Amino acid sequence: MSLSYFVKGLLIGFAIAAPVGPIGVLCIRRSLIQDRLYGWLSGLGAATADALYGSVAGFGLTVITGFLMGGKIWLQVIGGFFLCYLGVQTLRAKPADHAANACKGNLLTAYTSTLFLTLTNPMTILSFVSVFAGLGLAGAQRGYFSSIQIVLGVFAGSALWWLLLSLGVGFFRDKLNLRSLVWINRLSGLTILGFGLVSLGSCLL
């Protein structure tokens, strides 16, 4: 069995996940304020969304692509407001409370919040469609098994990036004092809020 399609998908998923955006900021902050697991699960939510959008591009589901792009303004508005909400919540958060009150229920929140954010970003599907087309990986040109390999590779590549990021950032966690964590919250909150405002502002242009 050839793994060439899986490897291609892995490289695509890694490359698309790597640029630092609001998801990256959330992953970094959660790895520092809470722990590596929270950071990685945050990234895993984005990796799941990447795999879903990768399957749309990989299987050549043009109807779904058209539907998503037709509603991209509303998706962008919803995602923008959610980013603003997360930004404000981050600004108001107290690091000591996070450390004391972290519970299993928050793991699901870490995962679903980034899953939702990535799914409401219409540029994600455009990225996959463009990359797949540029590499000649259109769904009509190969069988379903090859497409499945690519989608699994996309998920693995994206998940690998978030694992490496959360592990790397997590090494600095024990070196931070409370004052540092407060500033991380402030900078992260302002950055996430800024992404949200830019997203909403672009809808008016």
In a domain, 181, yes or no: no
What does pTM read for this prediction? 0.75
In a domain, 188, yes or no: no
pLDDT digits (tens, 9 = 90+) for 83-121: 788 888 777 776 554 444 444 458 888 899 899 988 887
Residue pair 68/170 in contact (Cβ under 8 Å)? The answer is: no
Q: Mean of the pLDDT values across residues 58-82?
A: 67
Q: Mean of the pLDDT values across residues 173-179?
A: 70
In a domain, 27, yes or no: yes
In angstroms, the CA 139 to CA 2 distance is 17
Question: What average pLDDT does the structure give for the chain?
Answer: 77
Residue pair 49/167 in contact (Cβ under 8 Å)? The answer is: no
In a domain, 197, yes or no: no
Give the SS3 label for residue 137: coil
Question: In the block, which residue shows the tokens 């098994």?
Answer: 145
In a domain, 122, yes or no: yes
pLDDT greater than 80 at residue 75: no
pLDDT band at 44 (very low <50, low <70, confident <90, very high): very high
What is the tally of structural domains in the chain? 1
In a domain, 123, yes or no: yes
In a domain, 115, yes or no: yes
Predicted local distance difference test score (pLDDT) of residue 1: 42
In angstroms, the CA 58 to CA 129 distance is 8
Predicted local distance difference test score (pLDDT) of residue 60: 64
Q: Mean of the pLDDT values across residues 132-138?
A: 61
Residue pair 166/44 in contact (Cβ under 8 Å)? The answer is: no
Which one is predicted more confidently, 65 or 47? 47
Q: Mean of the pLDDT values across residues 20-25?
A: 82
In a domain, 190, yes or no: no
Q: Which domain holds residue 32?
A: 4-72+91-174
